Amino acid sequence: MDFKKEQLLEMLVQIAPNRYVQALLIILLFLVVAKVLDVIFTRVIKGWIEKTKIKLDDQLIDIFHKPVFLSIILFGLALATERLAFNDTLFFITLGGLKTVAVFFWTFATARFLKLLLNLVSRDESRFKLVQTRTLPLFSNVLILLVTGLSIYVLFLVWNIDLTAWIASAGILGLAISFAAKDTLANLFSGVFIMADSPYKLGDFIVLDSGERGAVTNIGIRSTRLLTRDDVEITVPNSIMGNTKIINEAGGRHEKFRIRVKVGVAYGSDIDKVHKVLLDVAKNIPNVCKNPEPRVRFRSFGESSLDHELLGWVTKPVLRGKILHQLNTAVYKRFLEEGIQIPFPQRDVHVRSAPVGKADIESYEVEK
């Protein structure tokens, strides 16, 4: 590499003895090289890759195309800077700035590549049981932290920053931060445990112990976000999510959700007819599952009604409110058509007049 570099410089000296012209020629040369490679990538290689059925190669070209192009230009600028023979301070600042730009671009490219690799690995759950769709956010966040930490370390080396003092003070600083940001750290560790244990995943409908119900839209390191049926986003710290009871309506063997319609009929009603009508209503609602089939249960003898419960399943928990509305409406209409009475509580109040005369009061007390 050094031999080729010396050959290039000797050739430039012969062409243009002025060092500023030489620096300009170096920049132009590497711009041309970068442009030629860019054309080869975009027109030749990418055109050939687009004809293949594999999408991975297309994504790799999109990820690394820009960093490679910029790295060639930055390398040319570094050679031109070296040829200009700046003083040590200016040369160090200029070269450090070029390296910093390169580190930033390659950091983003590496993060995108690792995310792509994780997505591919998570699809093959038979071979990679640890990396699955539900644990993907955990590994993605960990990789981002690692790549960011490594890029910061490289930047320290680029600017010749002594890491010994930083490492020595890291223990004291970490102790101070642990006390000052104990809530943040609690959320951080709870987020890691939630992603690893996976009591819920993205898209699940969950009900918190405090009563909030919504779909999980984001599981982050610090908090979990829910979107309610009113399109209101709720952000809950992970420390709370990790220490509260959570009902996952989409959990279990499948995502189907059971709904219950409680209805009472008057004493003396033909309960066989009531059962038939309720089942017929449930089977005529399009979004009620046929498997498992709807069923009716006679629950209890109420004070003024025979209490029944219509049980059915819907495909997704998000449909609960809509299906309950349809079932309640259909049951009420069919009961009116079939002459089935839905009773309401009644109370008989008997008022007894108090005696007004003294004799009446005495006779009333004697009778008591």
Residues of the chain with pLDDT under 50: 364, 366, 368
Residue 37 lies in a domain: yes
As beta bridge partners, residue 346 has none
Q: How far apart are CA 335 and CA 212, in angstroms?
A: 34
Three-class SS state of 207: strand
Domain that holds residue 116: 2-177
| Closest by CA position to 112, among listed 46, 59, 71, 152 | 59
| Closest by CA position to 193, among listed 123, 243, 253, 132 | 243
Residue 262's identity, in one-letter code, is K
- Out of 177, 208, 239, a domain closes at 177
Please give the DSSP secondary-structure letter assigned to residue 318: G
Residue 358 lies in a domain: no
Predicted pLDDT at 128: 62
Q: Are residues 142 and 68 in the same domain?
A: yes
Residue 364 lies in a domain: no
Query: The domain that contains 299 carries what CATH number?
Result: 3.30.70.100
Q: Are residues 263 and 316 in the same domain?
A: yes
Tens of pLDDT, residues 7-48: 666 666 667 667 788 788 888 988 998 988 888 877 777 666
On the question of a cis peptide bond just before residue 292, with omega within 30 degrees of 0, the verdict is yes
Q: Are residues 170 and 301 in the same domain?
A: no
Q: How far apart are CA 214 and CA 226, in angstroms?
A: 5
* pTM: predicted TM-score of the whole model, two decimal places: 0.54
Predicted pLDDT at 9: 62
Number of domains in the chain: 3
**Alpha-helix runs per DSSP H in the chain:** 2-15, 19-39, 46-49, 56-84, 88-123, 136-158, 163-180, 182-197, 238-241, 271-283, 320-338, 358-367
Q: Are residues 163 and 67 in the same domain?
A: yes
Q: Are residues 73 and 212 in the same domain?
A: no
Tens of pLDDT, residues 130-158: 566 656 776 787 788 889 889 988 998 89
Residue 34 lies in a domain: yes
